[in-house]
Structure 1
């Protein structure tokens, strides 16, 4: 089975979203992921995935207008957004849900709100056997994003204190935040917190293998670590998507 999933929010965008499943199925992907499915009915997404023979590995909770809600929204607003995600998840059956933090200063108020909101979501999603993943995002791409280092993610997860929360390790973001990718990858995996992996080239977010990172070495490291999850290609194709899929053979 392929170890890669295609991110259909960014790739195969030469065709309409529901047609991207069939486009991805023509290549060695065993699953797909996407960011925000809420413009479509979950049943039509499920049908497109089933007809293409592709599992759905991950999607994001609703982001609101602030690149995420977890550090900003009241419990009522946040829980309403997660209820919408759960309605989709019951149909789409992903393995993971990425819950975004939002653009917010790191204060005692936003920290407490984030911890309490993510803990609540982790409890609800555990009932569906869906893992919550949280992602440090670099401040070059998203200035002011609340969750912006691995150390912060470790600290928050310790306070959330729920086993259904792990880290989404995005090579594009971690390279720009920290560098030292191999050490950081081993660190997250060794802590038992590696929930999902995404790849894109740095600094331009194009196909893996076209930037400053040796993605083939990262794939090798993941294999040696025994990472059993999929690697999501969340990148902006430099040209037509199919023309740039040589990275699948790295």
Structure 2
């Protein structure tokens, strides 16, 4: 049976962020994810999780910045990660350490590390060595902290010139880094836009044990997974058949209010 985590950055946006925890719990979610925790004291977020019986299963390392305030503002300033960017190693390391500190407070097992936007005039392949070096260091830190880092292929329509776009490229990075503390975050929305053939990708990669988190949304609108061109009922059944036990993050933008669009979950709720 799929386990769904509410993404509080995209869902329940009709409510202030700190009120979204209660709303997700009221709707039967037992786990949450969101983009970033850095605009809040981690102890405040932990209190919300505990008050509503929720588990934090994922958040992102900062997209840039050397201090918490800069990290909290970086996404809105257009930053999309530094793992593959020359001259940004200090920011990358500071961000990973801050993320691990917050993960300890939030008891969150997984952190997604953003790669960054390939600079104009630079070839993606020329950045691979730097990215591997950064991820090797980061994975070592994560292992010491008892956490797992994730990398995620993201489509170029939503994020032009993003360093990492394909599932095979992500697994090539895992081969190069060679650490049990680095795995893949497989977003089926991004996978469909870039590559298609999603069911075959699931059959290929889930049995490897290297996919630690899945995310879903409809294609092309990135709304509830009961619409669009992907047949999610089939894909959820396939994920079950493959024996995958991880969380599936609902990283979609509700078409007409979060609660009104939750009917798609009905076949997958216990009982």
User: If the length of structure 2 is used for normalisation, what is the TM-score?
Assistant: 0.89
Contact (CA 8 Å) 1:2, 1:30: kept in 2 or not? no
Other-structure match for 2:57: 57
> What is the DSSP-based 3-state SS (H/G/I as helix, E as strand, rest coil) of the residue aligned with 2:98?
helix
> What is the DSSP-based 3-state SS (H/G/I as helix, E as strand, rest coil) of the residue aligned with 2:92?
helix
Name the stretch that deviates more: 5-14 or 185-194.
185-194
Runs of 4+ aligned structure 1 residues displaced above 6 Å come to: none
2:45, 2:123 → 1: CA distance? 36
Any unmatched runs of 5+ in structure 1? Answer: none
**1:134 equivalent in alignment to 2:151:** yes
**1:194 equivalent in alignment to 2:211:** yes
Contact (CA 8 Å) 1:167, 1:195: kept in 2 or not? yes
Other-structure match for 2:70: none
Q: 1:68 aligns with which of 72, 81, 97?
A: 81
Q: Deviations over 1:155-196 (max 9, x none)?
A: 111111111111111010000111111100111113321110
Contact (CA 8 Å) 1:36, 1:62: kept in 2 or not? yes
Any unmatched runs of 5+ in structure 2? Answer: 65-77
Other-structure match for 2:74: none
Shift of 1:134: 0.7
2:11, 2:2 → 1: CA distance? 17
1:248, 1:137 → 2: CA distance? 25
**1:93-132 matches, cutoff 5 A:** 93-104=107-118, 105-132=122-149
Other-structure match for 1:34: 34
User: If the length of structure 1 is used for normalisation, what is the TM-score?
Assistant: 0.96
Shift of 1:106: 4.1
2:140, 2:39 → 1: CA distance? 26
2:123, 2:209 → 1: CA distance? 25
2:125, 2:88 → 1: CA distance? 15
1:230, 1:152 → 2: CA distance? 22
Q: Deviations over 1:8-59 (max 9, x none)?
A: 0110111111110000001121100010111111000000111011000000
> What is the DSSP-based 3-state SS (H/G/I as helix, E as strand, rest coil) of the residue aligned with 1:190?
helix
2:170, 2:181 → 1: CA distance? 14
Contact (CA 8 Å) 1:2, 1:29: kept in 2 or not? no
Name the stretch that deviates more: 189-198 or 224-233.
189-198
**1:1-250 matches, cutoff 5 A:** 3-64=3-64, 65-72=78-85, 74-104=88-118, 105-250=122-267
Contact (CA 8 Å) 1:131, 1:165: kept in 2 or not? yes
Q: Deviations over 1:84-133 (max 9, x none)?
A: 11121110111210001011154454211111111111111112221111
Residues 192 and 106 from structure 1, CA distance in 2 versus in 1: closer, same or farther, beyond 3 angstroms?
farther
Name the stretch that deviates more: 207-216 or 104-113.
104-113
